Chain A
Amino acid sequence: MSAISRNNVKVSGTGERTMLFAHGFGCDQAMWRFVAPSFNDAFKVVTMDHVGAGGSDPDAYDIGKYASLDGYADDIVEVGREMGIRNGIFVGHSVSSMIGALASIKAPELFNTLIMVGPSPRYIDDGAYVGGFGASDIEELLASFADNPLAWSASMAPAIMGNADRPELGQELTESFCRTDPRIAREFARATFTSDNRADLPKVTARTLILQCRDDIIAGEKVGEYVRDNISGSQLILLDATGHCPNLSAPDEVTKAIKEFV
């Protein structure tokens, strides 16, 4: 199966240069629905789902490959090469910021520009580094997937619900957003929240813009500053938006900041 269909790649827009939008942990490409279309007039706009999320191929999930962010970065490289992307713009939300950074290091010809929305190279505090979470916080999160199997019920994929005998329910869920298999969500959570990509930041050569929200408990302002200080030449913009998902809560502000940068 091609990477394009494996990752449920959707293409729109009329421009030459490609902008690839990747979603973070907990959602799917719907995350970009209020931002990506604004770039259709000037760019070839590509959105995609990571394997295990949204409309990606569930059979492509490999617990070994996706145990670290490298597996996801390899997918980005494959998608980029299949689509013939060169000197494109990678826009990553949350953990996809680091996935995009890894992909740009692996294949520098694909993307010469990185937009990171709420990035964090490491979520767990480490000495003087403040990631925002204690190790026990992440242990609690990972344990909660076993302890509370219905936590992700708001976005379970239809197959997970085992409702073959209730087709009306399946139909309803098919149209829901941010679909995820809770077992995959647990592994993605582990890959995300135990990642440490601090050493990779200095290797990034792409022009980089960091969009930082106020009051973001997933990736705080100190983390944004850390990313800026470790990617040479990068620019940090502190948005007025609060929370972790400005692409949904303040799409106009995000769109404006990206447009000014590219």
Chain B
Amino acid sequence: MTEELDYRKLFDEAPCGYVLLSADGVILKTNDWVANLLGYPTGEIDGKRLRDIFSMSARILFETNLAPLLKLQKNIREVTLDLKRSDGTLVPVIMGATSFPDPLGNANTIRIVFLEAGERRLYERELVSARDNAQKGLQKEMDDGQLREQFVAVLGHDLRNPLSSISAAARILSKETLSDRGRQVIGLMQGSVLRMSGLIDNVLDFARARLGGGIGLQLRVEDTLEPLINQVVQELRASSPDHDVLMSYTATRPVECDTSKIGQLVSNLVGNALSHGDKRQPIRIGAETTENGSFRLWVANGGKPIAAEAMPTLFNPFVRGQSQGYKDGLGLGLYIAHEIAKAHGGTLTATSTEQETCFLFEMPNTVG
């Protein structure tokens, strides 16, 4: 077998299509692959024009884009187009081409290679339609999500008004002369109003945080937060009077914060401790300002520690204690407390051992 014969076979029997094209678009030579793909007897394509084996869109693409590119940059790569078979049907191919000087004249000859691309074309079409569908789906989800969150925010506002009426009515009634049973019922009512109010605050803040604006703060400098914390604790204890709470407020500097949000944070943490802590062990609340300019506030309770696997998602929204059913509400309390800490430029962290579960809020505080 001579070398010349090898090269000839390499062309004729190559596993891809070869076309040699004159500068004015006449097919000078093709190999068997092209003839087989297009359904012509071997050699019958030679002498035809390139346009004779191109689909209409391929002809226009070639004349307006590919031919100029071959003049300007001498090669084109990875173009996909349709060839036309002898029976008129189309077959997708990938095409590459280079233009090189013709040894006989000035005009360049063009070498073209074709690979079949039917499966690839189907796949591309699927990708394009999958992308279109995904974009449509995403847009719908975003619209729905926006609507849901707006709904929650509006609902929160609408729930507050009747709740204020109930609260005011209970306050007026509590000043009347009541039976023991009446006073007890009013106390329960006021506890329920408080819980409801806390839930609404959390839901609204959740909606605000998710609507993208984040929790807005109205910062003020307070000499001490002790009365605020005491008030929150008292309100909450009304519904669990037998659970002891020990308070140690040792902060010596004023604190710059949004007091209503800090009240909400304390309420959420103490509420959490009342729900999950061992009733026989007191809840310990502490607050301090430090020399290096930070404010620290912690709420700790005894009892069963938080499971290690629950720790990473502790501050995620809608995460509830495992065995508690709906007793804890929506599971927004710790998430909102965490968001309030973040909004203050601070952190909320949790540690939990057999001895104690402690939530620590720490934020920079340079006033005073």
Contacts and interface: CB of A to CB of B under 8 A. Distances in A.
A26 B81 contact: no
A167 B115 CA distance: 28
> Chain B interface residue count: which class?
20 to 34
B24 A218 contact: no
Contacts of B61: 26, 144, 151-152
Given A218-B64, A243-B25, A177 B73 contact: yes
B236 interface: no
B304 interface: no
B80 A153 contact: yes
B160 interface: no
Contact of A217 (B23, B63, B66, B125): B63
A101 B176 CA distance: 94
A218 B51 CA distance: 12
> Chain A interface residue count: which class?
35 or more
Contacts of B81: 148, 151
Interface string A214-237: 011110000000000000000000
Contacts of B82: 144, 148
B235 to A, nearest CB: 54
Contacts of A153: 78-80
B234 interface: no
A243 B58 CA distance: 15
A27 B63 contact: no
B69 interface: yes
Contact of A150 (B58, B60, B72, B80): B80
A112 interface: no
B59 A217 contact: yes
A176 interface: yes
B240 interface: no
Given A148-B81, A177-B69, A178-B69, A218 B57 contact: no
A242 interface: yes
A154 interface: yes
Interface stretch (A56-64, A70-78, A200-208, A244-252): A244-252
Query: Which 9 A-B pairs rank lowest in CB-CB distance, beginning with the nearest?
Result: A26-B64, A144-B57, A26-B65, A248-B71, A141-B57, A177-B72, A150-B80, A242-B24, A154-B76
Interface of B: 23-25, 51, 55-61, 63-69, 71-73, 76-82, 92, 121, 124-125, 128
18 contacts: A140-B55, A144-B57, A144-B61, A147-B125, A148-B80, A151-B61, A154-B66, A154-B76, A154-B77, A177-B72, A177-B73, A180-B65, A218-B60, A243-B25, A243-B63, A243-B67, A245-B67, A245-B68
